[in-house]
């Protein structure tokens, strides 16, 4: 693959163009897209036209660029999160129907939790989790539930590089939070992201007792009922785990 003068390959430059779209942005002017991707305007324009030819981007009037439907189609059709979302949705709907509050599903992606699904309704409390949005592990109950049930080696690697940009939390404090989460089987964070909400999450475990996802809720501080919330979430998480195991076995049988 040919490289640019800077040493970037074509693939590197394409990835930079795709990653330049911020969360929630419907479209970007071509000039802004070039600036955000760190590419010369001429290079960005050429790549956008080529990607648009495949339906991955759309180049509209006035030079505005947006992600194309073809891009969404390919990502949705082949996403490894698809099976997880399908397995979890019935359980998430049940939890949401009972609580009348936000329910979210996240996976560990590097040192962040990536949310792959969220259910909410009118009147729900504020919830910063967004589908395809990320949050640092240490400020998310889902992130703590995920990290607390990873291997000791991965946890040690995470804590070694840990740095809180806000300067409020140390690696030692996070280590204690992970140990407590592991001990009690669920994570809880009160008023960390929003002062009036409480995040509670439980891990979805695979056969090796490693968390492959986290199921969480965000509720008003005044309505926290851990004795009722946690067992309901844990029951749902076990159900999701069974569905994933059944799906894995089914696919293994199909491939034989």
Interval 55-80: pLDDT, tens = 999 988 778 999 888 888 887 776 76
Shared domain for 33 and 111, answered yes or no, is: no
Shared domain for 46 and 117, answered yes or no, is: no
Residue 100 has pLDDT above 80, yes or no: no
Out of 57-71, 77-91, 115-129, pick the least confident: 115-129
Global pTM reads: 0.77
Residue 101 has pLDDT above 90, yes or no: no
Q: H or E element: which one contains 190? A: strand 187-190
Interval 203-241: pLDDT, tens = 999 877 889 999 999 888 777 677 888 999 999 999 999
Interval 145-197: pLDDT, tens = 999 999 999 999 999 999 998 888 999 999 999 999 999 999 999 877 677 78
Shared domain for 167 and 147, answered yes or no, is: yes
Q: Could you list the residue range(s) of the whole structural domain that residue 63 is in?
A: 10-74
pLDDT, residue 13, reads 92
Residue among 123, 92, 133 nearest 217 (CA): 92
Number of domains in the chain: 2
Residue among 100, 132, 109 nearest 219 (CA): 100
Shared domain for 70 and 178, answered yes or no, is: no
Shared domain for 128 and 215, answered yes or no, is: yes
Residue 3 in domain: no
Shared domain for 23 and 122, answered yes or no, is: no
Residue 2 in domain: no
Sequence-ordered list of residues with C-beta below 8 angstroms from that of 191, at least 6 positions apart, any chain: 197, 198, 221
């Amino acid at each position: 693959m040919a490289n640019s003068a800077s040493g970037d390959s074509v693939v590197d430059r394409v990835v930079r163009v795709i990653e330049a779209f911020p969360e929630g942005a419907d479209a970007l002017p071509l000039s802004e897209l070039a600036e955000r991707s760190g590419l010369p305007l001429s290079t960005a324009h050429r790549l956008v036209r080529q990607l648009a030819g495949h339906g991955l981007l759309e180049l509209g009037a006035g030079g505005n660029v947006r992600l194309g439907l073809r891009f969404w189609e390919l990502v949705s059709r082949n996403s490894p999160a698809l099976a997880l979302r399908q397995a979890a949705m019935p359980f998430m709907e049940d939890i949401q129907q009972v609580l009348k509050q936000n329910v979210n599903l996240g996976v560990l992606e590097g040192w962040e939790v990536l949310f792959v699904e969220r259910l909410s309704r009118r009147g729900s409390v504020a919830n910063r989790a967004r589908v395809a949005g990320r949050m640092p592990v240490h400020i998310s109950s889902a992130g703590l539930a995920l990290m607390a049930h990873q291997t000791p080696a991965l946890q040690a690697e995470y804590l070694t590089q840990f740095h809180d940009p806000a300067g409020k939390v140390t690696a030692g404090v996070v280590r204690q939070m992970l140990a407590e989460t592991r001990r009690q089987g669920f994570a809880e964070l009160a008023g960390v992201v929003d002062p009036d909400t409480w995040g509670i999450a439980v891990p979805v475990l695979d056969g090796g007792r490693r968390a492959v996802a986290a199921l969480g809720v965000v509720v008003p501080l005044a309505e926290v009922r851990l004795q009722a919330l946690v067992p309901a979430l844990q029951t749902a998480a076990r159900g999701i785990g069974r569905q994933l195991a059944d799906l894995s076995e089914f696919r293994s049988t199909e491939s034989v």
